[in-house]
A = this chain, B = another copy of it.
Amino acid sequence: MTSWIRFRFADGHTRFGTLSAESVTEYAGEMFGESTSTGNVHGVDELTLLSPCVPTKVVALWNNFYALSEKLGKAPPTHPLFLIKPPTSVIGQREPIRRPPAYGGKIAYEGELAIVIGKRCSNVSVEAATDYIFGYTCINDVTAAELLNEDVNFAQWCRSKGFDTFSCIGPAIRRDFDWRAARVVTTLDGVERQNYPLADMIFSPAEQVSLISQDMTLEPGDVIACGTSIGVGSIKDGATVDISIDGIGVLSNTLALES
């Protein structure tokens, strides 16, 4: 039942530790390496949650749920279809999503399960893949929807999803998580918009890690966003998106009102 978080104190220092109910136990060392409890326990309200990991890349899947595949009328893929989101797109719990200054169009939410890699891996088998998964968290794979097909010759996946603050990750990384029994629930200002079972995934987490590790070396802290299912919609400025996965927690981010 261990959940790992990264956080910042009021003095600006960044730390990591485990979260249980409303208390945080601080650890020293490395989250993905050797770590030991410092014995310091804090209240959650004494600190600011950060993205629980600092990925060198976010590998974001498209068309990885049968329900969405059927709705789109697109055949299920034979290999994970993905784009890469840069580290600069990552924010954590309650950090504001920011509208790009030059973009006035629709901004879409996509509630998703995120896999967090724990150990460097390359060309691992499906059987071995689980050993390289540190745990799971929530991701809101935000998209500047009107840019995606702005150019008829080139789908702009990396641009439309790569803006700063467009990968909301958190609140915590749950280690012993059974994705087969869980659902992703997305609410927009409290109204449910997505509610889909993770059992509907086309490529399981272990298959994703195995297949993507054949495409590139995955590093500790790297994130694979497992793709979304039906119910994607747009976020009005000032609206709040909550992504909830039982056993992981609720990731909450607001699209900032333009200043």
Contacts and interface: CB of A to CB of B under 8 A. Distances in A.
Contacts of A154: 62-63, 77, 81, 155
Interface stretch (A170-178, A211-219, A249-257): A211-219
Interface in A203-249: 214-217, 219
Q: Give this chain's copy count.
A: 2
A219 B88 contact: yes
Contacts of A134: none
A42 B83 CA distance: 42
A86 B100 contact: no
Contact of A151 (B57, B81, B87, B215): B81
A71 interface: no
Nearest to A211: B102
Contacts of A214: 100-102
A159 interface: yes
Contact of A88 (B74, B156, B216): B216
Contacts of A81: 151, 153-154, 156, 159
A144 to B, nearest CB: 9
A82 interface: yes
A200 interface: no
A163 B154 CA distance: 21
A195 interface: no
B158 A75 contact: no
Nearest to A164: B217
Contact of A57 (B87, B153, B217): B87
Given A83-B84, A84-B162, A157-B158, 9 more contacts: A74-B153, A75-B153, A79-B151, A81-B153, A81-B156, A81-B159, A84-B86, A102-B123, A164-B216
